[in-house]
A and B are shown apart, each in its own frame.
Chain A
């Protein structure tokens, strides 16, 4: 209750939680498109590439107004993306290497500018490096307002161009054949993704921002095959992780919000991978286990029938050890016998010795009949 109390009434915690929630919603929605278009690592590259943009914006305008820095970062992110596309399009360098080059070179250049500024202090350049690692605790109301404005605008564009973006993500060629300007849409969606990333840098930093693009979308993907549902679920996961991360880090001593948010969303991803509808790993494991058991039970029944045929006596009893030796699926013979006994197909004649019942003879005979010919 104390926690909820502080969520509503503590200014810092409320601001941080609100900022993280906005960020989670925007990143979840835009990340869903990135995930479907196999551009998850583009988010990583763009968040690194934003650094020189932030610094150049500061050098040019001399102000640390969030709007100026966000715009500078967005320009750098878009530039990085177009360079990336140019490299993969006009050379034989593959996307992974192009990403690596763009990411590290832009970030390195940003670092060069940052240290250049710090050693030649003009004025209040301090605090620029919070764009590297993010300090959610320093978020002010005006930062959150800027985040909400930019993020809301990006989401509005997604809603307005919903059909077009859907087409772009799933069947680009079909969209082009319908006459939609797919290249323009592609660029627009990329710019939106850059905006989503850039507004998050200040809160969670470069490295962890890329996680917020990938993780909520990857988790949501496990629960649905519908794009609209996926985006809503991803946004919800993102917001949940944001608020939870803000609250947890407000409890512990010296825990910065960014890493905690990433850990929370990572746990959500893990749970989704395990228990996601239809494709969840846990369900797949249970299904495999069940079908293995069924198979094993049928094998025991067939073995008993084979023995009965060899002994010319349908009700001849055999020891568990014999069945075990015949059963090439390791173990589980006793369990199988119990299952078969429950179905009335076998019965224990003397302790440890089992035989087919009449029903068992009929069932095994029917299953075996074609094979016996």
Chain B
């Protein structure tokens, strides 16, 4: 494995974790689409910053871009507060407008400058190691340093304000009553998302920023009930997606960002299908189990109803179930078999008798006792 490969993977992992951590809160606060909006509008911030400063190297550009991200969020909220449009429409109105302004400004005034709309949207991680800088005597890719710092800063800030973030995310009303400011935390989080998006989209493009911010946390959301674990799982999933995506891109000789988004989608799909307890498969199995469970209880209740009554000889037979409970013969046979195996009933010559267990099951279901 060449050092370039290693560097690209490290950058991908740093970007992934840096995005996934704030993404957890976006998903929990139902603001996932804000990442889409912000990752597009920071472009306008960069363009305006470039016009003001005249250089694409200045760290002040990050500030301009982050400010534009926060401005996007405020604009969406101002629009929502007029009650003339709903949140989804407000997002859909604000970011294409700001993005269009950016595209027009670039094509009008910044031709030939290294500000390429394609590159911004799509990103090309494979070229990231070419742009290098010197840090304490080490020759490192610029993105590696920037995204490493962003990741550490995000992790540090989330650890520092963990309690506040948790409280305002799950119970904003209580947080306000206790004297925390949900608005302050909200804008702090938006600032974090914006700064991360700026740093990341330079390396991987804005669409992968959305994929990394939303897909790992959404998958983690299906795996755990605890916020701390959700953060950990998100970071792990982002790491796995970044590394496997890189190798997929190498194998196909294709765009790294696109490949990472694809593997993240595959990971999400896997979790969605297979997650213990919440996955589609577990749900289907539970539903199927419940069906038989319910049929056995219904059978027990039926037998209890007619126990020691004159009709008992007629009612409590396997072949009568299809008339009384309207069960197909095969279904009835299966249920009787399952019930017998579960020790709920005993069978003799087609007559069905409840066991003590079966009687108790029926009585509990009917709340007799």
Q: Could you tell me which A residues sit within 8 Å of B by CB distance?
A: 35, 38-41, 43-44, 48, 87, 90-94, 96-101, 103-116, 119-120, 129, 132-133, 207-208, 210-211, 213-215, 217-218, 221-222, 252-256, 258-260, 262-263, 266, 269, 273, 276, 279, 281
Contact = CB atoms under 8 A, between A and B. Distances in A.
A112 B252 contact: yes
Most buried by A among B33, B99, B208: B33
Nearest to A108: B261
Contact of B91 (A41, A263, A269): A41
A92 B278 contact: yes
14 contacts: A40-B91, A96-B33, A97-B214, A98-B218, A107-B261, A112-B255, A114-B258, A116-B254, A207-B99, A214-B93, A259-B104, A266-B100, A269-B93, A273-B82
Contacts of A269: 93
A116 B217 CA distance: 28
A70 to B, nearest CB: 22
A109 B276 CA distance: 27
A104 B261 contact: yes
Given A97-B32, A211-B93, 15 more contacts: A91-B280, A92-B278, A105-B211, A105-B215, A105-B264, A105-B268, A108-B262, A111-B258, A112-B258, A112-B259, A113-B254, A132-B118, A133-B118, A218-B85, A262-B96
B184 interface: no
A31 B268 CA distance: 30
Contacts, number: 208
Most buried by B among A91, A263, A269: A91
Closest 4 A/B residue pairs (Cβ): A108-B261, A105-B265, A111-B258, A211-B96
Contacts of B103: 256, 258-259
A197 to B, nearest CB: 12
A259 B100 contact: yes
B268 A101 contact: yes
Interface of B: 26-27, 30-33, 35-36, 40, 79, 82, 84-86, 88-89, 91-93, 96-97, 99-101, 103-104, 107-108, 111, 117-118, 121-122, 207-208, 210-211, 213-215, 217-218, 221-222, 248-249, 252-255, 257-262, 264-265, 268, 272, 278, 280, 283
Give the dominant DSSP class at A's interface: helix
A215 B93 contact: yes
Contact of B101 (A94, A100, A263): A263
Contact of B254 (A97, A106, A119): A119
B96 A208 contact: yes
B253 A38 contact: no
Nearest to B211: A104
Given A105-B265, A281-B82, A40 B259 contact: no
Contact of B100 (A40, A110, A263, A273): A263
A259 B105 CA distance: 10
A210 B96 contact: yes
B92 A43 contact: yes
B92 A91 contact: no
Contacts of A281: 82, 84
B233 to A, nearest CB: 14
Nearest to A267: B97
Given A101-B268, A112-B249, A211-B93, A132 B33 contact: no
Contacts of A266: 93, 96-97, 100
Nearest to A213: B92
Given A48-B207, A255-B104, A99 B92 contact: no
A279 B259 CA distance: 47
A260 B104 contact: yes
A269 B89 CA distance: 11
A87 B272 contact: yes
A262 B107 contact: no
Contacts of A101: 211, 214-215, 218, 265, 268
Contacts of B280: 90-91
A93 B100 contact: no
Contacts of B211: 101, 104-105, 108
A131 to B, nearest CB: 13
B265 A108 contact: yes
A207 B104 CA distance: 14
A179 B107 CA distance: 54
B278 to A, nearest CB: 6
A89 B275 CA distance: 15
A97 B217 CA distance: 9
Given A108-B265, A259-B100, A96 B210 contact: no
A87 B91 CA distance: 22
Nearest to B105: A259
Contacts of A276: 84
A262 B92 CA distance: 11
A285 B27 CA distance: 36
Contacts of A106: 265
B160 to A, nearest CB: 25
A23 to B, nearest CB: 14
A106 B265 CA distance: 8
B335 to A, nearest CB: 27
A41 to B, nearest CB: 5
A366 B322 CA distance: 84
Most buried by B among A105, A207, A256: A105
A336 B101 CA distance: 45
Nearest to B279: A91
Nearest to A280: B84
Contact of B32 (A39, A99, A133, A210): A99
A222 B84 contact: yes
A205 to B, nearest CB: 9
A40 B92 contact: yes
A92 B283 CA distance: 12
B97 A100 contact: no
Contacts of B91: 40-41
